[in-house]
Amino acid sequence: MPNNHPYDKKSDRRQQDLNDLVDGAVNFGLGISSTVLSGIAGALDSVGDSLNRAAQRPEQNSFIAYRRKLDNSLAGHYGGWMTMGVLGWVFGGCFAIAALVMAILAGVAPNDASLWSAMPVFNILAPTFTACTLGFFVMGYAGCHAANYFGRLRRYLRGMHGFTAELPELTRSSVVRADKVRKDLRNALAKGHYPNACMNEAETTLYLDETMYHPAPAAAPVQPKAAQPALTDEELFRRDGADFLNYLKTCQGRLGDQADEELVQMRKNCAAIMGFVHNHPEQLPRVRRYREYYMPTTRKLLNTALGLGESATQNAQEIRRDIVGILHTLNTAYEKLYDTLLQDVSMDVSTEIDTLEAMLNQDGLTHDFAADFGAK
């Protein structure tokens, strides 16, 4: 005769729940172990590739091929760390929800007879899941932080046009602070993320091929010269602006008729902005973005178009067309910037004129010519 005692059914159900919990924990542990082992295997592959490159050091056919190869290597690191970061945040969120559920069940169990026997399990799992939550959140933060670092290394690399690059050039192309760029490059050189690369002693130039760096021989000590006074911001802006206008002039006649029209108009707009700042130096902070970003970026785009030479490939034509098209957009922006600068000056001029006319009238220095010389 089958045993249908309610207590036995309840015990069987609890035993089945406990078995499901154990199976889930084992499967989760296996999944984490698989992820960790995959990460270790990828790291060993990267180390093996680095050792092979260090042993063979094959000469690259061109800078573009070398940059593409190095960028692919950095992309692998970026993808691995980003995956780790995303998994960390996802698993952390899941364990946070599970910890909250366990804590709620542990609080409800004393008042519920059906949960009373499982209360010790809830009391154990709640702090365990909380600890797992913190661990996975740390994993997520570490993964995203490292992914951001490799992402910046890729941005520096894409901003280079040869095996050597000045740090100010990398700063402008990546839109990252100079001190951050220098710190990232130190780490990349120390950890081999830029293999066979080095920087000069002053840390102002990056060499992707250390054999290209030839430090200057130590010079004999010389008598210190009198320190030259540092240029003011206004003088720096005047110097950079004049250099930019001369550069735009040298670009004329090299990118087609449409580009020449835009370049002539751009020289007029930029000259107007420079003249305004020269007459109103107190307005210099308002053109900071124009000076530090728009001018260097415009020059970089024109350098790219000029670097294509006479190539007639489809990609070269598309690049030229896009760059010529953005010149019109930049001209519109520069005209709007100049009009914005004039608005405040126009208000100030109107106020000055009104005040001057009022004082002339008060001092009796103006006359009603119609009344003085009109017909009597």
What gap in Å lies between CA 26 and CA 34, rounded to an integer?
12
195-199 average pLDDT score: 82
| Claim to verify: residue 247 and residue 206 sit in the same structural domain | no
Q: Cβ(84)–Cβ(142) under 8 Å? A: yes
> Is residue 133 domain-resident?
no
For 70-75, which contacts have Cβ atoms below 8 Å and span 24 or more sequence positions? 70/157, 70/194, 70/195, 70/208, 71/154, 71/157, 71/158, 73/46, 73/49, 74/150, 74/153, 74/154, 74/157, 74/193, 75/154
Are the CB atoms for 184 and 169 separated by under 8 Å?
A: no
- Say yes or no: 327 and 246 in one domain: yes
Q: Are both 206 and 243 inside the same structural domain?
A: no
Question: Does the predicted TM-score (pTM) go above 0.95?
Answer: no
Position 376 scores a pLDDT of 45
**pLDDT over 80 (residue 352):** no
In degrees, to the nearest 5, what angle opens at C-alpha 217 toward C-alphas 212 and 219?
A: 145
Domain shared by 176 and 283, yes or no: no
* 322 & 353 share domain: yes
pLDDT above 50 for 138: yes
Measured CA to CA in angstroms, residue 374 lies from 205, 223, 366, 367, 371 at distances of 79, 80, 16, 13, 5
Whether residues 353 and 239 share a domain: the answer is yes
> Alpha-carbon distance 35 to 84, whole Å?
9
Q: What angle do CA 326, 331, 274 make, to 5 degrees?
A: 135
Question: Does residue 196 form part of some domain?
Answer: yes
What does the pLDDT look like over 90-129, one tens digit per residue? Answer: 998 998 898 888 888 777 767 766 666 777 777 788 788 8
Asked whether residue 335 falls in the same domain as residue 240, the answer is yes
> Given 212, 244, 274, which residue is the final one in a domain?
212
**Do 33 and 57 form a contact (C-beta atoms < 8 A)?**
no
Residue 34 has pLDDT above 70, yes or no: no
Whole-number pLDDT of residue 78: 86
**Token digits for 121?**
């399990």
343 in a domain, yes or no? yes
DSSP secondary structure letter of residue 292? I
State whether 242 and 342 are in the same domain.
yes
> In this predicted structure, what is the pLDDT of residue 19?
52
Residue 372 placed within a domain: no
Same domain, 250 and 317: yes
Residue 164: inside a domain, yes or no? yes
Residue 213 tokens, joined: 């760096």
Q: What is the pLDDT of residue 41?
A: 47
- Structural domain includes residue 220: no
The residue segments making up the domain with residue 352 are 233-362
Share of the chain above pLDDT 90, in %: 2
Task: Flag whether pLDDT at 28 surpasses 70.
Answer: no
Long-range contacts of 101-106 (CB under 8 A, 24+ apart): 102/126, 102/129
List Cα–Cα distances, 274 to 234, 252, 360, in angstroms. Answer: 10, 20, 34
pLDDT the model gives residue 90: 92
Give the chain's domain count: 2
Average pLDDT over every residue of 203-228: 70
In a domain, 1, yes or no: no
Mean pLDDT of the chain: 76
Same-domain pairing of 239 and 201: no
pLDDT mean over 219-236 = 70
Cα gap 188→143, rounded to integer Å: 17
Are 130 and 150 a contacting pair, CB within 8 Å? Answer: no
DSSP string, 23-52: HHHHHHHHHHHHHHHHHHHHHHHHHHHHHH
